[in-house]
Amino acid sequence: MKSMTVSLDDLSLFLSVCEAGSLSAAAAATGISAPTLSRKMTALERGVGRRLFLRGNQGFLLTAEGRELHAEASALSPIALRLARWTEGNAPVRVRITAGTWTSHWLARNIPEYWQAGAGWVPEFLSSNAVLDISRREADIGLRNRRPDQNWLAGRRLRLVQSAEFGVDDSVNGFVTLPAGASGTPASRWIHANRGDQVITTVSDLRLAVDLAQRGVARVVLPTFAAVGISGLSQLSEPIDELSHEEWLVTHHEARHDPPVRAAISAITRFIEKGTS
């Protein structure tokens, strides 16, 4: 079977010719001369072993196989644009932030307080109640409920997090939470251990628990900071001592010195500490 030799650069130029409709227009758009583009398109056809263009007075018209290749390769255009921006140093760097469900929702809901376009970095939220491995660079920043104990991780204590029962009013009894099991959150484990006979229903997504609580179906246990801004819910209990914990911002010792990561750390830290001062 004949192997195909296709250059990604030539595919990108192929897309330019397709979009421009002629060699002269593609030459003006790419800055590459028409004769060079013609040679590259001929080489591309040899590489794929297909006739891609009908050449004539009307320009370079795509054959049926040319249209198929265009459809397959069109996804390269946004990738090429992102790579060009990155090469030019204009692309903001995505900083991966891992946190539990409620912290992730809270950070996303309040993003104008600590991030604006043009900051040089963009938050990429990895909402997960499982602990991602920062030492293996699965994330850049972690918001955790304990101090890191690995010597290659840096940690900064941010605040004390407390949780309580929330619902529409005191007349609501019973709870909605995640199913019982090892994969649950500390709050869901506490409910099953201490209020198991009062669980009305369970959900697979904690956000669904809030939706049901807002409709008066049951109570939900939330961090008090996360409940701020959720309409229709009132705090119905004192903070639950067993669920109180410290929150730590955790990073890799080396990665925290990268300018985008350092900027994200400073912005998030200021925002959280401002809310607790």
**What domains lie within the chain, and their CATH numbers?**
8-87 (1.10.10.10), 98-159+245-276 (3.40.190.10), 163-243 (3.40.190)
pLDDT band at 262 (very low <50, low <70, confident <90, very high): very high
Mean pLDDT, residues 204-227 taken together: 95
Is the pLDDT higher at 58 or at 157? Answer: 157
Looking at every residue in the chain, the average pLDDT score rounds to 86
- pLDDT for 47: 87
Q: Quick check: 277 pLDDT over 80? A: no
Q: What is the rounded CA–CA span in Å between residue 256 and residue 249?
A: 11
In percent, the amount of the chain with pLDDT more than 70 equals 87
- pLDDT for 10: 83
Is the pLDDT higher at 113 or at 26? Answer: 113
In degrees rounded to 5, what are phi and psi of residue 103?
A: -65, -40
In degrees rounded to 5, what are phi and psi of residue 162?
A: -120, 150
Mean pLDDT, residues 214-230 taken together: 95
- pLDDT for 130: 57
- pLDDT for 265: 95
The pLDDT tens digits for 107-130 are: 999 999 999 988 889 999 987 655
- pLDDT for 87: 63
Mean pLDDT, residues 212-236 taken together: 95
Q: Quick check: 176 pLDDT over 50? A: yes
Q: Quick check: 1 pLDDT over 50? A: no
